Structure 1
Amino acid sequence: MRCYLHTLLVGVFLVVISSLLVFKPSSPRRDPGHSQGAPPLSSSYRGPGERLRTQSGGDERMHVSVVACGPRLEETLVMLKSAVLFSVRRLHFHIFAEDDLHLSFRRALDSWPVEVRQCFIFTVYPITFPSDHALEWKKLFKPCASQRLFLPLILKAVDSVLYVDTDVLFLRPVDDLWALLSRFDAGQLAAMAPEHEEPRIGWYNRFARHPYYGVTGVNSGVMLMNMTRIRDKRFKNDMTPVPLRWGEMLMPLLQKYKLNITWGDQDLLNIIFHHNPETLNVFPCQWNYRPDHCIYGSNCGPAEREGVFILHGNRGVFHDDKQPAFRAVYNAIQKYPFGEDMATSLLQPLEVVLQSTTHTYCGRAGPLLTKRLQRSVHTHRRRP
């Protein structure tokens, strides 16, 4: 993998330089105002949320967070695997999980090949909610899903993070979505995809009993966050004329709307960004492609043109027979052996299986599921 080779080459380079410095008879004296050496390639980490920055003050890793409760271990590992397969820069996975899953995560990730482990580090955290209302938050919608609301308050030393649900697969490098952070304008602090592209089949605009963002709402299964900005921002709301900080706002918001929300924390995020629309960047649906984009006919135009970038198998479609095309992609990544040629061991077997799903709604969109994946695979093969 590129990140492994990059690390190896840098190590060789440093050994050569060190040898030259040791055996060189004399060398010019350094000016005290100059750097005493190049900064390390990436940050180091010490436990939950404690970050050591590079000498230049930057953090070169991409931070990806996920919340896993109940029988979500294997699904989460497949998601993490998809992130590692194609990404160029190193990753830091922040895994929030129930206590009985911690050892399983550590054993599974530590068992991956050394060259793969060079591409990421991970930290496993306990599920953590405010003590006064912990049970209420934990049971909101899916078990533990509302943990994502508290990431800015828990990962205090992390500047930005990409949150994804466990039932997500990366078909394009994480780097490309991470790059969107640098394109936020001065007021934007998060990015998500629309809940629906077509208002006629939208849920929020037809059924919601609370405020929501834009025309059809947003889906929080893939959410890019500048958490420094979130922590610093004071948010407009419909509970008080005084803008509130993120941590001050969450519980009052739940108390006000808990009888009117259906999708838990996603609904709360929609309410927040309804009142603060200027703070949200909306990215295209191909970054959060769900069954709704194909079971009612193809209604994600960007995916038609460029392919699917992130596949979101909500409603359990990675594990049942409702959408065999989605399950085929999941199975292909799950079964792919690290180190083998991805064209012959991942892409080609997947294309064969997808041909047998064309009788289904989403099976007809099979070419969209492999269009960007083909490019990711071929780009990976060309890397040194």
Structure 2
Amino acid sequence: MRYSLAGMRSCCHTSGASLLRISHQGRKPGEQKHPKEPSSLQCMHLAVVACGDRLEETLIMLKSAVLFSNRRLCFHIFAEDSLKPEFERKLKEWPSSYTKKFESTIYPITFSVGNAQEWKKLFKPCAAQRLFLPVILKDVDSLLYVDTDVLFLRPIDDIWHVLKEFNSTQLAAMAPEHEIPKIGWYSRFARHPYYGTTGVNSGVMLMNLTRIRSTQFKNSIIPGGLTWEEMLYPLYQKYKNYITWGDQDLLNIIFYFNPECLYVFPCQWNYRPDHCMYGSNCRGAEEEGVSILHGNRGVYHDDKQPTFKALYEVIRDFPFEDNLFQSLYYPLQSKFLDTVHTLCGRIPQVFLKQIEKTMKKVYENRVIVYLGANHRY
């Protein structure tokens, strides 16, 4: 199938300035800067959707976020009704030294347009909920969405800073689906439009919701632009017989027609088994280490990729108040010795580099806080 943008007018523009301060690369003379982020938005917003058996995965993801973050976090947890009591109970069990670093809100699964049952069954249970975040979270300016099978190996603060790198048209950021087109899924099998040469993976997605809500998007449905909410269900109806990966495919279609709206961040911010199971192909991770681990394909729960499983288990089993090096880093090193027979296990430095750097910073910050609290003038 071939698709053309010929004759389509550019619609990816915002009718109002984002609340988030953005530093524009290549700003034209006289181009207005966005206003500074007000104090009420100092919280870093993290959204996740959990259905079925994803309770533990989600809690371990949130734990990894809290362990290393510097600024306060606001969790937006979208979950089935049956999971809500467990989320509330488990989060309250965390020590106060960590619970004071975040606030959490649990939302029901809701879809504002179209058939709710269709949306709920799209690809993974409830995954399509992420498409409706701009509609539901009307008071949130920007957020980071992640899948439940994600682990943070460095502070969320660092990827949050990417929002400041958006230019005046960009409103979302994702990593490529693959680094090598000839072995990428979209470049070989997709029957629908997709972004760039390999498509993008939506498991880690930064979103400027203010811009998304105020943008008219180009599309293949009508000649003019549509708002985000207006576009979702007609787009799904048109392509539902051609998509394999559900909401991720719909996002690829949207940004195929609106490429100027997307910022692409490098693979170390969404590192998956595909980046090492066929040989190492994420240069950014080789140079800087993995920043965000994405254990898709269920690798935390089987023995196909023991390196990914080791990271998950060590963070899961880490007691909050223990020493990070003694109870997290050293056990991880030990577990990695048992994975050297695998392609991913042959490059342990890729997995260890960033988390070691992060833990050193956490330790240094705690020492500074301790000395500051006990210093007398």
Q: TM-score range by the shorter chain?
A: 0.7 to 0.9
Counterpart residue type for residue 117 of structure 1:
T
Report whether the alignment pairs 1:223 with 2:227: no
Match of 1:358 among 327, 334, 340: 340
Report whether the alignment pairs 1:66 with 2:48: yes
Judged with a 3 Å threshold, the aligned counterparts in structure 2 of structure 1 residues 56 and 186 are, in CA distance, closer, same or farther, namely closer
Per-residue displacement from partner, 1:337-381 (whole Å, max 9, x unpaired)? Answer: 011110111000100110110101111122211110000011101
User: What is the alpha-carbon distance in structure 2 between the residues aligned to residue 286 and residue 348 of structure 1?
Assistant: 22
Counterpart residue type for residue 125 of structure 1:
Y
User: What is the alpha-carbon distance in structure 1 between the residues aligned to residue 304 and residue 120 of structure 2?
Assistant: 28
Q: Aligned residue for 2:256?
A: 274
Q: Aligned residue for 1:202?
A: 184
User: What is the alpha-carbon distance in structure 1 between the residues aligned to residue 38 and residue 308 of structure 2?
Assistant: 43
- Kindly state the Cα deviation for residue 132 of structure 1 after the two structures are TM-superposed: 4.4
User: What is the alpha-carbon distance in structure 2 between the residues aligned to residue 364 and residue 137 of structure 1?
Assistant: 40
2:280 alignment partner, SS class: coil
Q: Point out where structure 1 has 5 or more consecutive residues left out of the alignment.
A: 1-54
Q: Aligned residue for 2:134?
A: 152
Q: Aligned residue for 2:71?
A: 89
Report whether the alignment pairs 1:189 with 2:171: yes
User: What is the alpha-carbon distance in structure 2 between the residues aligned to residue 57 and residue 234 of structure 1?
Assistant: 29
2:339 alignment partner, SS class: coil
Q: Larger deviation: 358-367 or 126-135? A: 126-135
Match of 1:119 among 101, 107, 116: 101
Q: Point out where structure 2 has 5 or more consecutive residues left out of the alignment.
A: 1-36, 370-377
User: What is the alpha-carbon distance in structure 2 between the residues aligned to residue 149 and residue 56 of structure 1?
Assistant: 26
Report whether the alignment pairs 1:236 with 2:218: yes
Q: Aligned residue for 1:106?
A: 88
- Kindly state the Cα deviation for residue 130 of structure 1 after the two structures are TM-superposed: 3.0
Report whether the alignment pairs 1:347 with 2:333: no
User: What is the alpha-carbon distance in structure 2 between the residues aligned to residue 85 and residue 201 of structure 1?
Assistant: 36
Fraction of identical pairs, as percent? 64
Per-residue displacement from partner, 1:143-192 (whole Å, max 9, x unpaired)? Answer: 00000000000000000010000000000100000011111101100000
Q: Aligned residue for 2:310?
A: 328
Match of 1:133 among 107, 112, 115: 115
Per-residue displacement from partner, 1:6-59 (whole Å, max 9, x unpaired)? Answer: xxxxxxxxxxxxxxxxxxxxxxxxxxxxxxxxxxxxxxxxxxxxxxxxx95541
User: What is the alpha-carbon distance in structure 2 between the residues aligned to residue 262 and residue 191 of structure 1?
Assistant: 21
User: What is the alpha-carbon distance in structure 2 between the residues aligned to residue 118 and residue 297 of structure 1?
Assistant: 42
User: What is the alpha-carbon distance in structure 2 between the residues aligned to residue 221 and residue 107 of structure 1?
Assistant: 26
TM-score where L is the length of structure 2: 0.87
Q: Aligned residue for 1:175?
A: 157
Counterpart residue type for residue 348 of structure 2:
G
Match of 1:213 among 186, 195, 198: 195
User: What is the alpha-carbon distance in structure 2 between the residues aligned to residue 379 and residue 147 of structure 1?
Assistant: 35
User: What is the alpha-carbon distance in structure 2 between the residues aligned to residue 56 and residue 380 of structure 1?
Assistant: 27
1:261 alignment partner, SS class: coil
Q: Any runs of at least 4 consecutive aligned residues in structure 1 with deviations exceeding 2 A, and if so which?
A: 55-58
User: What is the alpha-carbon distance in structure 2 between the residues aligned to residue 132 and residue 241 of structure 1?
Assistant: 22
Match of 1:371 among 334, 345, 353: 353
TM-score where L is the length of structure 1: 0.85
2:41 alignment partner, SS class: coil
User: What is the alpha-carbon distance in structure 1 between the residues aligned to residue 68 and residue 179 of structure 2?
Assistant: 28
Judged with a 3 Å threshold, the aligned counterparts in structure 2 of structure 1 residues 127 and 287 are, in CA distance, closer, same or farther, namely same
1:235 alignment partner, SS class: coil
Judged with a 3 Å threshold, the aligned counterparts in structure 2 of structure 1 residues 232 and 131 are, in CA distance, closer, same or farther, namely closer
Q: Which has the higher contact order (CA 8 A, sep 6+)?
A: 2
Q: Aligned residue for 1:16?
A: none
- Alignment coverage as a number of residue pairs: 331
User: What is the alpha-carbon distance in structure 2 between the residues aligned to residue 200 and residue 267 of structure 1?
Assistant: 19
Q: Aligned residue for 1:290?
A: 272
User: What is the alpha-carbon distance in structure 2 between the residues aligned to residue 160 and residue 131 of structure 1?
Assistant: 22
CA RMSD, aligned part only? 1.2
User: What is the alpha-carbon distance in structure 1 between the residues aligned to residue 283 and residue 194 of structure 2?
Assistant: 23
User: What is the alpha-carbon distance in structure 2 between the residues aligned to residue 195 and residue 132 of structure 1?
Assistant: 28
Q: Aligned residue for 2:19?
A: none
Counterpart residue type for residue 64 of structure 1:
L
Q: Aligned residue for 2:143?
A: 161
Matched-pair contact (CA < 8 Å) for 2:112–2:132? no
Report whether the alignment pairs 1:307 with 2:289: yes
